[in-house]
Structure 1
Amino acid sequence: MILLDGIPISHWGLQIQKEHDHPAVSDLRSRTMAIPGMDGEWDFGSESGPKPFNFPLGFIEYDMYEKQRRLNEFVAFLFDHYGKPREMKLSFEYEPDKYYFVKLSNGFTPRRIFGFAFFDLPLIAYKPNKRFIVPSDKIVMDSDIPIMSDLLWDTGFSNRKITGPQSFEIINNGWIVIPFSFRMEGSGNDVVFKANGKTMTFQSFINKTYEVTENYTVKVDGVTNLTSTNGVFLELFPGVNKITVEGSNLDLTISESLTYQYK
């Protein structure tokens, strides 16, 4: 079974055929250059392209008016109020703790047979990595998370009071390097964060709230302001990461909300 925005497709009376495609890895874009006098090509590395999905769906309905009503309802779900394909969360019954952001990638035409309707639903994830169903600050012992999830359960405790230079550890439970997204409240002079060979600095501030997001933006008291830092964003590698905070007159509360990612 597949779910769209947490809704099983059976909600629309649809069923997925037993055989369907779920790409393990999206197509790769290799960047190479042929250099005269050198055998082969120079490899500049590869990047993951979008991940396409194509689901063969169908339903049984002998009332032709009810059949059309169901199709209309499902089509309306796939689009926003402007008539544009909207982004949805796609998840699978056999992997309920992860999801993709997808949208409709092409049109489809139902094949109508008396009592039946069949069509292939084409979806695409332009961000091909899977994401964990909840952010890290929601992972605590009573969380409604599938038991098979490979997580360290102390991940969600993150409100740290910083009153002097110190280091602490943050766990990235995913397989992919992610930006260190965090919220910092309070005051400090010449505040510096260090992790995995990178340094992020902040100007001196009093009673401010900083939000460093996974989209590589910085907000100060709710207003985007990249000039308040040196523009270097820290990265968290899979596993345990050491974060060092330096500065003077520190009176900070730091909390993170991480979205783990997987291939």
Structure 2
Amino acid sequence: MMSVVAYFGDKTPRELGFGTFRKTDRPILSSTVDRTAAVPYMPGAYDFGADLGPKPFNIECAFVARNSIQLQERVSAFAAYLLDGFGRPRTMPLIFSAQPDRQYMVRYSGSLPIDRVAGFGPFMLPLIAHDPYAYSIYDLDEIDVDSLIPVDMDVSVDLASTYSVTGPMAIPFTNFGTLNGAPVLQISGAFSYLSITIGGVETIYNTALSGTLVLDFARKTARVGSTNVLRNTNRRFGALPVGDSIIVVNGSGINCSLSIGLHAKYA
């Protein structure tokens, strides 16, 4: 029987000493966090939209050991694996066998009882992804003809992700995810003024630069080395739409390379 979980952290369930089975609670979407306001004498409520809350998973598992002593050894080792050096639940990737190209970032959340019958120990593993979305295990610029990728994964092999920029430029880009993506841009070289428009939103860096600037659109940060240079931007960050779009680069005194990193995002 194929394991429901391919990887938990950097190990397979088999390496951790247990199996994962079909009775697994894996919701289609996490619960909504609704923003509404009730108004006196008005039927219903004003709807201000909603977001998704954390996504819970309950994984059916079982240790299978030769005897109760080996069972306890595996239980103790797994308990340690779930925690960091300070004894707090640690966050790690969860990859399902049915979708080996994407991962959730999860941690143990809840309680973890186990039934012990000689060398057999079934249990339900409660996990939670506080970011409820899945992300590609590959960054755009990591994929080439030698990459081991699932045959049904939507991706282009050897798609250019680094560009030489010496003036205004329009860069075609394809986001293979099902949701808008937040790229990481690395600009190495020099410019007097730089403008990058993604998803219709213009990000401006208004100070001359000679070095390497990293713009993280998910974290909305701008750094040169370890220095926070967000003050030199207009603090506006767009998102790459699903499918094909154009990244527009403009500015003055530009002589640099632009690298585009993206982990595709999925519902």
The correspondence for 1:142, drawn from 139, 146, 166, is: 146
Identity across the alignment (%): 31
User: 1:79: Cα distance to partner?
Assistant: 0.5
User: 1:40: Cα distance to partner?
Assistant: 2.0
Please name the residue that 2:178 is paired with: 175
Task: Name the SS for the 2:167 alignment partner.
Answer: coil
Please name the residue that 1:211 is paired with: 214
Given that 2:183 and 2:240 are in contact with CA atoms closer than 8 Å, whether structure 1 keeps it comes out as: yes
Measure the CA separation in 1 of the matches of 2:211 and 2:225: 6
Given that 1:180 and 1:234 are in contact with CA atoms closer than 8 Å, whether structure 2 keeps it comes out as: no
The correspondence for 1:165, drawn from 168, 176, 189, is: 168
Given that 2:207 and 2:232 are in contact with CA atoms closer than 8 Å, whether structure 1 keeps it comes out as: no
Report which stretch shifted further, 60-69 or 158-167: 60-69
In structure 2, the gaps of 5 or more residues are none
Task: Name the SS for the 1:127 alignment partner.
Answer: coil
Please name the residue that 2:42 is paired with: 38
Measure the CA separation in 1 of the matches of 2:35 and 2:209: 47
1:47-196 aligned within 5 A: 47-155=51-159, 157-196=160-199
Measured at CA, do residues 115 and 247 of structure 1 come closer, stay the same or move farther in structure 2, by a change above 3 Å?
closer
Report which stretch shifted further, 54-63 or 125-134: 54-63
The answer to whether residue 262 in structure 2 is matched with residue 258 in structure 1 is: yes
Measure the CA separation in 1 of the matches of 2:163 and 2:97: 36
User: 1:253: Cα distance to partner?
Assistant: 0.6
In structure 1, the gaps of 5 or more residues are none
The answer to whether residue 225 in structure 2 is matched with residue 225 in structure 1 is: no
RMSD over aligned CA atoms reads 1.5
User: 1:25: Cα distance to partner?
Assistant: 0.7
Aligned residues: 262
Q: Report which of the two has the higher share of strand.
A: 1
Please name the residue that 2:26 is paired with: 22
Q: TM-score, normalised by structure 1?
A: 0.94
Measure the CA separation in 1 of the matches of 2:254 and 2:244: 25
User: 1:62: Cα distance to partner?
Assistant: 4.0
1:6-21 aligned within 5 A: 6-21=10-25
Given that 1:193 and 1:244 are in contact with CA atoms closer than 8 Å, whether structure 2 keeps it comes out as: yes
Given that 2:63 and 2:74 are in contact with CA atoms closer than 8 Å, whether structure 1 keeps it comes out as: no
Report which stretch shifted further, 40-49 or 109-118: 109-118
1:197-208 aligned within 5 A: 197-208=200-211
Measure the CA separation in 2 of the matches of 1:115 and 1:65: 8
User: 1:194: Cα distance to partner?
Assistant: 1.7
Report which stretch shifted further, 189-198 or 230-239: 189-198
The list of structure 1 runs, each at least 4 consecutive aligned residues, that deviate by more than 6 angstroms after superposition, is none
User: 1:17: Cα distance to partner?
Assistant: 2.9
